[in-house]
């Protein structure tokens, strides 16, 4: 039992929220394979979580997994943080918002290992009462460029900028560095940080790039995409190892 691989729940996304899909295609849930491969490489067993509006079923899934991974994806609906939609808001997925916020709050309340990536960091902050910049270029014009997007020709492993990691944080322990180069594929960001969270990493323009709880346990979010860097290609990939190791400890209990 001590060598059992921990189960890692990975939330999904509504296919129709990503792109224009033929109207006759049934609603579908999907997720980028890189997240599952990264979990496997770190020693975990990935389990895809459907976006069900059924608390009993979601509770049963949550109870069975040893850790929860919130991947990247489309924008959060501003209604989740009590704001009106701005013109540069991208596509949203209300079913995903509802599922992830419900599971995130549960993980935080019960101390289940939690890792949020890009959108996932934003979900963690919003779940704790935080707000977002809906479009950095518009709402925070002094920001550096953060939207190095693949659909605009940028490779996913492009190390776009440096972040400074706060000494003594869980993130600093996982990365083993206080300054690190990261990839960057987002146009939104944390405005007001949620309650009970600390900013564990910031970009050179001051934008929050890492968050974690100010209490014990593993609840970490980063604004970049470490799933691209498995196999030792970059120190940012080590975050999966730390996360899955915490989930394994949880499984043994």
Q: Which two tokens stand for residue 206?
A: 């001051």
CB hemisphere CA count around 160 (13 angstroms): 22
CB 220 within 8 A of CB 208: no
Distance CA 127, CA 105 (A): 6
Q: Is residue 45 packed enough to be buried (19+ CB in 10 Å), middle (13-18) or exposed (0-12)?
A: middle
CB 109 within 8 A of CB 102: no
Distance CA 239, CA 253 (A): 22
Residue whose token pair is 């706060």: 166
CB 151 within 8 A of CB 196: no
Q: Which two tokens stand for residue 104?
A: 């995130």
Distance CA 61, CA 105 (A): 15
- Through-space distance between the first and last CA atoms of the chain, rounded to whole angstroms: 10
Output phi, psi for 131, to 5 deg.
-125, 165
For residue 216, how many other CB atoms are within 10 A of its CB?
8
The residues annotated as belonging to the active site are 118, 225, 227
CB 132 within 8 A of CB 190: yes
């Amino acid at each position: 039992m001590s060598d059992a691989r921990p189960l890692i729940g990975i939330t999904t996304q509504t296919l129709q929220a990503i792109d224009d899909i033929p109207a006759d295609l049934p609603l579908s849930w999907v997720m980028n394979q890189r997240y599952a491969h990264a979990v496997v490489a770190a020693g975990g067993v990935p389990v895809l979580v459907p976006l069900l509006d059924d608390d009993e079923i979601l509770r049963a899934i949550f109870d069975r997994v040893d850790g929860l991974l919130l991947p990247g994806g489309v924008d959060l609906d501003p209604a989740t943080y009590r704001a009106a939609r701005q013109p540069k808001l991208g596509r949203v997925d209300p079913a995903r918002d509802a599922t992830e916020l419900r599971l995130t709050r549960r993980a935080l309340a019960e101390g289940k290992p939690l890792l949020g990536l890009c959108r996932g960091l934003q979900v963690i902050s919003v779940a704790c009462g935080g707000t977002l910049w809906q479009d950095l270029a518009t709402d925070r014009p002094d920001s550096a460029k953060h939207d190095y997007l693949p659909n605009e020709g940028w490779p996913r492993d492009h190390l776009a900028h440096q972040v400074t990691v706060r000494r003594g944080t869980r993130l600093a322990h996982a990365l083993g560095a206080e300054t690190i180069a990261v990839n960057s594929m987002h146009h939104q960001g944390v405005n007001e940080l949620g309650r009970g969270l600390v900013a564990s990493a910031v970009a050179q323009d001051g934008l929050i790039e890492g968050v974690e709880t100010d209490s014990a346990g593993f609840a970490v979010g980063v604004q970049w995409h470490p799933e691209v860097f498995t196999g030792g290609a970059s120190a940012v990939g080590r975050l999966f190892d730390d996360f899955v190791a915490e989930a394994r400890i949880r499984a043994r209990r």
